[in-house]
Amino acid sequence: MPPVSISLPSHVAQPSPKTCSVTVTSIPLTSPSNTEPNLCSFCSLIDFSLLRYPTTTDLLSLNDGNPAPQDLSPFKRNPYAKVEPTWSLGLLSRIHKSSSSCDLCHAIRTVLDQQPHVRATLTNMGVKDPLVLGTVALCGRLSAPEGASWLEHDDKYGGLKERDCFFLRRLGLLFRPADKDEDVNVPGMAKKIESWFSVMDSFQTMNTAIPRGFEVGAEDRKGVLMGDEENPETVWFAGRKRPEMIDIGLIKQWLGECLEKHKDICGISEEVDEDDDPDLVEQMRRLSCIVTKYNLYDVDMSALKFASLSYVWGVTPQKLVLLIENEYELQRPNSLVGKVSKTISDAIHLTEQLGLKYLWVDALCIIQNSDDDKVMQLGNIANVYAHSLFTIIAAAGDDSNFGLPGIRTPRDAVQEVVPVIPPSDTNPGMSLITALSPTHQSHEHPTRKAIWASRGWTLQERALSRRAIFIMKNHVLWSCSRSHYSEESCCETDTLGTLAWFGLQESDPILNSSERTWYTEDVPEEQVWYKFQRLVQDYSGRNLKFQGDALDAFSAVVEQVRRMTGENFLWGMPSGRFELCLCWEPYRRGLKRREELSTLEMTSFKRHVPFPSWSWLGWSGAIFLKVQDRELEVGLNPKVVCFVLRNHPLRVFPVRRISVDNDPERANSWAIPNVTDSKYSVTLDDIYDNLPSMTPEVLLDTPDDQLIFFWTESARFKLSELKVQGPSILQENPLQVKEYTKYYREILDDDGQVVGRTHPCDPTAQEIGVDEKGDGKCEFIRIANNYLPFCDPEKLVMQLRRGTGKYNKDVRYRVNVAEIKKEAWKQVYEKRVLVALG
């Protein structure tokens, strides 16, 4: 079904970047209105000057070619030995006592009161009165706007030199137990900087040019919202007060700026051109159901501007979903009014306020009791989110009845303002303001701990969206391919400077973004593969209510990467990089085998099929996918060539050439010759000769893409009992121990000498793949050579278990991967074998 349409009153205008203005209104502060600091002996020693943000005057001067001032942050060099200077604030009990007289101690109590889980977590770890540290941590990278370059004084050689960027900071809080011999009553810089728990980005510098908050009007637009580029005192990227209710005009401004200025950067047009992509137009036309304010509406989505919704269903049943039996009833006028879940109702209201008539919602646009409709719709999810004008992300709450805070229900978080530097004739002073979405790790996305971010289905909805409006519990975030804005920070400028928030841009891999990530080389294809690797790692660690959805819930990402790279995929692994991807490994912890069958029928057999053990989709738990070229550059060299089995007609062919077989016009004529000169080639005759249980009858009953075949070396080794590797640092921290403890097995030769080790194991797994020969050894096969710089050569091997039953005793299944020393492998290597991997 298509999206739900919202029939708008005639007076609701389409979003425009020309219709927003700023009106400063009086929003009462929770702290004293004077600007004189009121700080205790601990808090007063913090070097708050490091938290200074640039003003309009600073940035205009830099853009005019003047060197950065050496005596002002964020331009001056860090005078401290540590990158993130940290001060002791004493015990939490001291902060409580001091909160009646110290504004910062009072604000720290407010931060903790609004995050009760912090104290609960520390108490559960046996830390009832932790030592509190204040750390001035990096939070963003500020660089010159397009067409400009920045200069600074060269202290080493004299003169001037270019400066790529400057770094902004926020004040975070660290918590740990005090050491027995530690004097907690002495203020000053912390000598031991360790943390059992942290609340990063707790405070940000406040924009003093907007001291009382804001309200967005709908009349004349002057300057840039919440930051006047003509006002020399505007403090850019600093904090601001936000109202209890979301001011829709602010989101309109963000949307309007993107539509006006980012046409090329933010990717494809929402209006699909039939001449450019007729297949895509036809796919969009199949998505014919969309939600409106009053009812479902049958439309041609290829010529439609619509929004989409990403949210959590939760355990509470939806109030209303689309079924075969109510499809036509829900298209009647007023059939949705008062009947949908609160989150959907609020999203419809927000869509209307932003000037759109249609909203796509899965519960009301996919027929929930029709597998045929699900198959068709899931195949087009990439189109839905990539072509929607924007996606509303309901990042608050744990089910569909929570609603969107600030839309029709006020938000209750308190923002305290704390003066920390007094004003003078030469210094305007500084105040801090409590942040609305502190995180527990540096550079962590504000939504990371939200239920929404833990669900498997929501990842592709975010990754494919061109523009996203995050509705969080206490504030709103905007993200598009070019910009990241926050309701609580003054960021609306791209002419004075460009800011990349570490917790937003660098932790939010938008698949369709043309903006580069700094963690890999600036090559378009490598940028795509890096983002894909990050998405796989994120997705594989998320939760699925139905394990059989594992492929479906990631299929839109796979489809979009296919369009971007031209690669075909086999169970979530690109065919042109398949052997490299076969080297994937567990990320930090062991994995559990995904035993469930696919939720939807698949392959030419139209069956519910197993998830192959060779694919990362066949396992539950976070994994690291080796897909980038840099894996090859640092010494990983795959040594197998994989062939895949398909039916109708029965055939095997190289995975790398799967695109040929996927072409219906060429599939029937495609075949691998029975005899070739390649030592890597696999034919049906090879399978019959080397794997006797795999007869034509057995293969003809095997679903497509379940079995891969390849020639490789095989050897058998003994395994040790489970070994435990704790964290290398902070071993007394219970959270660190739980997070970083790994279980593995050592690989032993016949003399009992350790010659290798497995990657992390699941300690609850019973099957370790002991070979049937009865000598207590396990079977390993080589899949790659691993010649890392400054390391002894190793073989990257796969640990296998043998299939059971009459018809699959020649099939092997992946258990884990491991590294074995090259010389040890050569001594034990038995023979070259044909492997059937299922």
Residue 408: HSE in the Cβ half-sphere, 13 Å Cα cutoff = 12
CA distance 207 to 415: 13
CA distance 643 to 145: 50
Predicted pLDDT at 215: 46
Q: Average the pLDDT over each of 767-771, 790-794, 811-815 and give the range with the smallest value.
A: 767-771
Burial 704-713 (b: 16+ CB within 10 A, else e): bbbbbbbbbb
Q: Tokens in use for 182? A: 């530690």
Residue 222 has pLDDT above 70, yes or no: no
Length of the chain: 838
**Element containing residue 613 per DSSP (H, E):** none
Environment class of residue 755 by beta-carbon count within 10 Å: exposed (0-12), middle (13-18) or buried (19+)? buried
Confidence of residue 675 (pLDDT cuts 50, 70, 90): very low
The arithmetic mean of pLDDT across residues 7-28, rounded, is 36
Residue 34 has pLDDT above 80, yes or no: no
Cα Rg of the chain, angstroms: 29
Residue 274 has pLDDT above 60, yes or no: no
Q: What is the 3-state secondary structure (H, E, C) of 402-461?
A: CCCCCCCCCCCCCCCEEEEECCCCCCCCEEEEECCCCECCCCCCCCCCCHHHHEHHHHHH
Predicted pLDDT at 417: 94
- Same domain? 89 vs 189: yes
Predicted pLDDT at 523: 76
Nearest to 58 by CA among 168, 181, 159: 168
Report the relative pairing of strands 831-837 and 708-725 from DSSP bridges. antiparallel
* CA angle centred on 346, ends 341 and 350, rounded to 5°: 150
> Is the bond into 654 cis (omega within 30 degrees of 0)?
no
Summarize pLDDT for 619-641 with one digit per residue, the tens.
Answer: 999 999 999 999 999 999 999 99
Q: Is residue 59 a part of any domain in this protein?
A: yes
Q: Is residue 706 a part of any domain in this protein?
A: no
Can you say how many angstroms the Cα of residue 335 is from the centroid of all Cα atoms in its chain? 37
* AA letter at 453: A
Summarize pLDDT for 136-180 with one digit per residue, the tens.
Answer: 999 999 999 988 999 999 988 999 999 999 999 999 999 999 999
The arithmetic mean of pLDDT across residues 199-215, rounded, is 74
DSSP 757: E
Residue 364 has pLDDT above 70, yes or no: yes
Contact 800, 668 (CB under 8 A): no
Summarize pLDDT for 237-272 with one digit per residue, the tens.
Answer: 999 999 999 999 999 999 999 998 888 778 654 444
Contact 573, 565 (CB under 8 A): no
Confidence of residue 95 (pLDDT cuts 50, 70, 90): very high
Predicted pLDDT at 425: 85
Confidence of residue 372 (pLDDT cuts 50, 70, 90): confident
Q: Which residues contact 705 (CB under 8 A, 6 or more apart)?
A: 570, 571, 603, 612, 644, 645, 646
Q: Is residue 780 a part of any domain in this protein?
A: no
Q: Please state, rounded to an integer, the average pLDDT across all residues of the chain.
A: 85
Q: Average the pLDDT over each of 291-295, 642-646, 681-685 and give the range with the smallest value.
A: 291-295
- Same domain? 276 vs 186: no
Q: Break the chain down into helix, strand, coil percent, rounded to 5.
A: 25, 25, 50
Confidence of residue 53 (pLDDT cuts 50, 70, 90): very high
Residue 213 has pLDDT above 70, yes or no: no
Residue 273: HSE in the Cβ half-sphere, 13 Å Cα cutoff = 4
Predicted pLDDT at 665: 53
What percent of the chain stands above pLDDT 70?
Answer: 84
- Same domain? 490 vs 566: no
> Is the bond into 649 cis (omega within 30 degrees of 0)?
yes
The arithmetic mean of pLDDT across residues 551-555, rounded, is 94
Q: Is residue 648 a part of any domain in this protein?
A: no
Predicted pLDDT at 281: 39
The arithmetic mean of pLDDT across residues 645-650, rounded, is 92
- Same domain? 536 vs 454: no
Predicted pLDDT at 78: 87
Predicted pLDDT at 729: 52
Contact 239, 201 (CB under 8 A): no
- Same domain? 468 vs 590: no
Predicted pLDDT at 676: 46
Predicted pLDDT at 30: 40
Contact 754, 768 (CB under 8 A): no
- Same domain? 124 vs 179: yes
- Same domain? 559 vs 469: no
What percent of the chain stands above pLDDT 90?
Answer: 59
CA distance 391 to 467: 6
- Same domain? 556 vs 487: no
CA distance 88 to 644: 61
Q: Which residues contact 229 (CB under 8 A, 6 or more apart)?
A: 56, 223, 493, 495, 496
Contact 143, 152 (CB under 8 A): no
- Same domain? 54 vs 154: yes
Residue 506 has pLDDT above 60, yes or no: yes
Which of 599, 634, 669 is the last residue in one of the domains? 634
Q: Average the pLDDT over each of 141-145, 161-165, 605-609, 814-818 and give the range with the smallest value.
A: 605-609
Bridge partners, residue 651, by sequence:
646
Q: Is residue 312 a part of any domain in this protein?
A: yes
- Same domain? 495 vs 389: yes
Q: Which residues contact 111 (CB under 8 A, 6 or more apart)?
A: 173, 199, 202, 203, 434, 438
The arithmetic mean of pLDDT across residues 666-685, rounded, is 61
Summarize pLDDT for 111-123 with one digit per residue, the tens.
Answer: 999 999 999 999 9
Predicted pLDDT at 32: 40
Which of 202, 217, 232 is the last residue in one of the domains? 217
* AA letter at 14: Q
Which of 634, 669, 699 is the last residue in one of the domains? 634
Predicted pLDDT at 10: 35
Ramachandran category for residue 443: left, alpha or beta (phi over 0 → left; psi -120 to 50 → alpha): left
- Same domain? 402 vs 528: no
Q: Is residue 688 a part of any domain in this protein?
A: no
Summarize pLDDT for 476-500 with one digit per residue, the tens.
Answer: 999 988 889 999 999 888 889 999 8
Domain with 103 in it? 43-217
- Same domain? 543 vs 623: yes
Predicted pLDDT at 2: 52
Confidence of residue 300 (pLDDT cuts 50, 70, 90): low
Contact 464, 386 (CB under 8 A): yes
Domain count of the fold of the chain = 3
Predicted pLDDT at 228: 63
Q: Is residue 685 a part of any domain in this protein?
A: no
Better pLDDT: 645 or 775: 645
Q: Is residue 687 a part of any domain in this protein?
A: no
Residue 229 has pLDDT above 90, yes or no: no
Summarize pLDDT for 728-750 with one digit per residue, the tens.
Answer: 554 567 777 777 788 999 999 99
Can you say how many angstroms the Cα of residue 410 is from the centroid of all Cα atoms in its chain? 28
